[in-house]
Amino acid sequence: MPDLQRPRSDDLDAVAARLRHHIVTSTTAAGSGHPSTSLSMVEIIAVLYRGGVLRYDPSDPVNPNRDRFILSKGHGAPALYAVLAEAGYLDASELTELRKMGSRLEGHPNMCRVPGVEASTGSLGQGLSIGVGHALGLRLDGSDARVYVMVGDGESEQGQVWEAAMFAGNHSLSNLTLIVDRNGNQQTGPVDEIQPLSPLEDKFEAFHWAVRTIDGHSLNEVQEAFEWARSVGDRPQVVIANTIKGKGVSFLEERQSSYHGKPLNEDQAAIALEEIGASV
Amino acid sequence: MSFGLTRVDLPEGDATREAFGDALAEVGANDERVVVVDGDVHNSTFTGKFGERFPERFFNAGIAESNMVGIASGLAACGKIPVAASFSTFLMSNAYDQIRMSVAFPNQNVKLVGTHAGISIGEDGPSQMAIEDVALACALPGFTVIVPADGISAAAATRAMIAREGPTFLRCGRPKVPQIYSSEDQFHIGKANTLREGDDVTLIANGIMVAMALDAAEGLAAAGIEARVIDMHTVKPVDVGAIERAANETRGIVVAEEHLAFGGLGSIVSMVVSERRPTRMAFVDVGDTYATSGPPDDLLRQYGLTPDAIVDAATRVLKD
C-alpha cells in the first residue's frame, strides 16, 4: 500500500497549538460543546496523526490497511475534527460549522458523514469493543494495520470497557492500543470522588495488558509510549495518559473539576486564543 | 410439543435455531467474510456448527453481550459479515444501547440472531423469554426484522440476510416446530407468503403462530368461514401490499404473534391498516404481561396462544 504514509510534522508544538485554537473557536462558534475534555487529549492525537504513528491516506479514508483511531469519548469530537483537518480529511474552514444545522460535524462523531471518523460514538463505553472488532478483523486478514482507541477515565466506569479489556487480553490482541485520557474529572466532579479507578495500572495488568503511564501533555513521552506500544508484540497495550482537563487555557485548568460541556464566550475565547498563541 | 394443533397434520421439523445453525455453517463455507461471535451459548444457538467447521472465524465472546455486539460492529467496519448470536432477550435487551449506537446508527452490516425467543422455551421461565425483542428491533431505523415460522424458512432467511447488506435481526425459537414449507418454496425478505387463500377474514402470523393460524383456518372453514393465512415472516420492512390487499379483500384481520401486545407485528400491521384501509382487527399475543415457568404447550394455552384463540379472534372480528 504505497499511498499510506505516517505523516510526521517537524513542529508538533505548533500542531498542538492549532488543535487547541480550533477546539476553542469551533465550540465558541457553536455556542455549545466540550472544549475542556477536548483540550486534555491534544498532545496524544497530535502525535498519533502528525507524529509518525498512524498510517493513513486522507484521500483513501477506507483503505483496508490504514491504522485506525477510534475516539470512544465522543464528546471530544471538536478535538477529533480539528486533527482530521490537520491530517487533511477536512478543510479547517469547516470546523466552525461544528454542531450547526446541516453540518456533518455533529456534536458527537458520525462515521457515516465524516471521512476519517472510524466509529460513531457518544454513548460512552462502546469504542473499545469496536476497536477489538477491528483488531480481530485485521488479524483475520493478515494485515499489519494497528488500532488505537481512546477512552476517558470517567468513561471507564462503564462495564463494557472491562468486557472489552478482558476479551482483548484473552485474545492477545497485540495490534490494539488503548489510550486512557486520564484527566481526572467527569461531568459533576473528580473521578476520584465519584468512582475511583485506582489502581488503574493493576487492573489492566490483571487483564493481561501491557501498561505504561505517562504525562499525556509531554510530546516526547507520548511519542515514546506509542513506540513502546508497537514493540510489545504479544499483548494489547494501554497508555494511561495523565492529563489536565482544559489544558492550555489557564482559567479552564483552574476549574477542571467543575467545567464540563460548556463553551467559552467570545471574551473568554479571545483570552484563551491569546494564551494558546497558535499561528493559523 | 403439539402447539395446540388438532386440525392440520404437519410433520415435525427442525427448530428454527437449529436450521439457522446448519444454514450458517453452509453459508460460511461459501463466504469467507462470515464471522461469528456468540455469547457462550453456541451449543444452544447452534452457531457451534459454524465454529466446528471454521474455528478461525468463530469467537466465543463469553457472557458479555454488549462487548459482543461492539466487536461485531468493528468486524463489519473491516468488511466482514459478522453474525452475533445469543438468547434473544440477552442479545436485544442487554446489548440494546450497543445495537443502537454501534450497529443501527452507523448502519453496520451486522446480523443479530436471537434464539430462544418467546414463551415456548418453557420451564426456564420469564427471565429467559424474549417477548419484547421484535419491538426493540423494529424501533431501530434501517433494521430488517425476520421471524421465520419453520426450519426451512429459517434456513432460507439465514441465507437471505447474509446476502443482503444491512443490519438485521433474525428471531429463532427453541422447540422443534411443525414444518410448513418445502425446500422448493420461495423466501424473499419483505415479501409475505400467502399460505391459504380466503375471502372472509385474514390471519396474519409469524413464528410458531403460523402453524396455529393454518390450524385455525381449518376450524373456521368447518364453520363456513374462509380464512386467508399469511406468513408475515418479515416484520420490517413489512409487506404493505399484502396487508392492504387483505384489508380490501377480506372483512377483517387477525394478527397472531408470540410477543407482547405492543410494538410487534400487531402494532405494525395496525399502522398499515389504519393508514391504507381501516378494517376490523383483533390480536392474539402474550398481552401486556410476563409469563411463568411451565411446559411449553401449557404456557401457550395459559397465555392464549392457541389455534382456538385465533378462531375466537376471527369470529369476533366478523361479528362486528
Q: What is the CATH number of the domain that holds B144?
A: 3.40.50.970
d(C-alpha B37, C-alpha B122), whole Å = 26
Q: Are residues B156 and B199 in the same domain?
A: no
Q: What is the CATH number of the domain that holds B246?
A: 3.40.50.920
CA distance B92 to B105: 15
- Residue B72 and residue B83: Cα distance in Å, rounded? 7
**What digits encode the pLDDT tens for the residues A177-187?**
999 999 999 99
Q: Which of B37, B57, B68, B78 to mutate to test the interface with A (most CBs of A within 10 A)?
A: B78
Nearest CA in chain B to A158: B66
Q: Helix and strand tally (H, E) in chain B?
A: 13, 14
Q: Looking at residues A138-153, what average pLDDT do you find? A: 98
How would CATH label the architecture of A12-276?
A: 3-Layer(aba) Sandwich (3.40)
Task: Determine the residue among B71, B94, B97, B140 to mutate to test chain A binding: the one whose Cβ has the most chain A Cβ atoms within 10 Å.
Answer: B71
Instruction: Give residue A3's pLDDT.
Output: 82
Residue A232 has pLDDT above 90, yes or no: yes
Whether residue B77 and residue A119 make contact (CB cut-off 8 A), yes or no, is yes
Is it the case that residue A1 has pLDDT exceeding 80?
no
Looking at the fold, whether B136 and B45 belong to one and the same domain comes out as yes
The rounded distance, in Å, linking the Cα atoms of B167 and A112 is: 14
CB neighbour list of residue B261: distance below 8 Å, 6 or more residues apart? B283, B285, B286, B287, B288
pLDDT, residue B141, reads 98
Residue A261 CA to residue A248 CA, distance in Å, equals 17
| B166-220: pLDDT as tens digits | 999 999 999 999 999 999 999 999 999 999 999 999 999 999 999 999 999 999 9
| Mean pLDDT in residue range A212-225 | 98
- Give the span between the Cα atoms of B206 and B209, in whole angstroms: 6
Q: What is the pLDDT, as a whole number, of residue A257?
A: 87
Which chain B residues touch A155 with a CB distance below 8 Å? none
Predicted local distance difference test score (pLDDT) of residue B10: 97
* Whether A126 and B101 lie within 8 Å, measured CB to CB: yes
Q: Residue ranges of the domains in chain A?
A: 12-276
ipTM of the complex: 0.97
Question: Do B36 and B113 share a domain, yes or no?
Answer: yes
Q: Tell me whether residue B39 is in a domain.
A: yes
Greatest pairwise CA separation for chain A in angstroms: 52
In chain A, which residue's Cα lies nearest the Cα of B108?
A: A112
- Has residue A206 got a pLDDT over 90? yes
Instruction: Give pLDDT, residue A280.
Output: 85
Amino acid, single-letter form, for residue A88: G
Confidence of residue A279 (pLDDT cuts 50, 70, 90): confident
Q: For all residues of chain A together, what is the average pLDDT?
A: 97
Nearest residue, CB atoms, A133 vs list B56, B57, B75: B75
Q: What is the pLDDT of residues A81-112, one digit of tens each?
A: 999 999 999 999 999 999 999 999 999 999 99
Residue B184, in any domain of the structure? no
Q: Are residues B144 and B244 in the same domain?
A: no
Q: What is the DSSP letter of A95?
A: G
Q: Is the pLDDT of residue A50 over 80?
A: yes
Domain that holds residue B24: 13-178
* Residue A122 confidence class, pLDDT cut points 50, 70, 90: very high
Residues of A at the B interface (Cβ-Cβ below 8 Å)? 64, 110-112, 118-123, 125-126, 128-138, 140-141, 159-160, 163-164, 166-167, 171
Using a CB-CB distance cutoff of 8 angstroms, which residues of chain B are in contact with residue A121?
101
Selecting from B68, B74, B82 the residue whose C-beta is nearest the C-beta of A131 gives: B74
Q: Specify the pLDDT at position B320.
A: 63
How many other C-beta atoms lie within 10 A of the C-beta of residue B33? 17
Q: Which of B65, B132, B257, B258 is flagged as catalytic?
A: B65
Report pLDDT for A274. Answer: 98
Q: What is the mean pLDDT of residues B17-31?
A: 97
The tally of CA atoms less than 13 A away on the side-chain side of residue B24 is 34
Q: Does A13 score more than 60 pLDDT? A: yes
pLDDT (average), residues B154-167: 98
B1 assigned to some structural domain: no
User: Taking the CB of residue A251, how many other CB atoms lie within 10 A of it?
Assistant: 13
Residues with Cβ within 8 Å of A217's Cβ and at least 6 positions away in sequence, in order, are A42, A43, A243, A244, A247
DSSP states of A164-230:
HHHHHHHTT-TTEEEEEEE-SEETTEEHHHHS---SHHHHHHHTT-EEEEEETT-HHHHHHHHHHHH
- Write the CA distances from A48 to A130, B66, B254, integer angstroms: 19, 28, 59
Identity of the residue in A119, A123, A163 whose CB atom sits nearest the CB atom of B67? A163
Structure confidence at residue A126 as a pLDDT band (50, 70, 90): very high
B290 occurs within a structural domain: yes
Would you call B18 a catalytic residue per the annotation?
A: no
Q: Cβ separation of B102 and A163 shorter than 8 Å?
A: no
Phi and psi of B229, rounded to 5°? -120, 125
Residues B207, B143 within the same domain = no
More confident residue, A43 or A280: A43
Between helix B16-30 and helix B151-163 the angle, nearest 10°, is 40
B3 domain residue, yes or no: no
Q: What is the mean pLDDT of chain B?
A: 98
Task: Indicate the pLDDT class of residue A2, thresholds 50, 70 and 90.
Answer: low
Instruction: Look at residue B255 and tell me if it is in a domain.
Output: yes
Whether residue B155 is found in the same domain as residue B24: yes
- CB contacts of B76 in chain A (<8 Å) are 133
Q: Looking at the structure, do residues B25 and B165 belong to the same domain, yes or no?
A: yes
Counted domains in chain B: 2
Q: How far is B66 from chain A (nearest CA, A)?
A: 6
Tell me which chain B residues have a C-beta less than 8 angstroms from the C-beta of A129.
Answer: 66-71, 73-74, 98, 102
Q: What is the mean pLDDT of residues B66-93?
A: 98
Question: In this model, does residue A171 exceed pLDDT 70?
Answer: yes
| One domain, residues B248 and B109 | no
> CA Rg, chain B, in Å?
19
Name the 3-class secondary structure at B283: strand
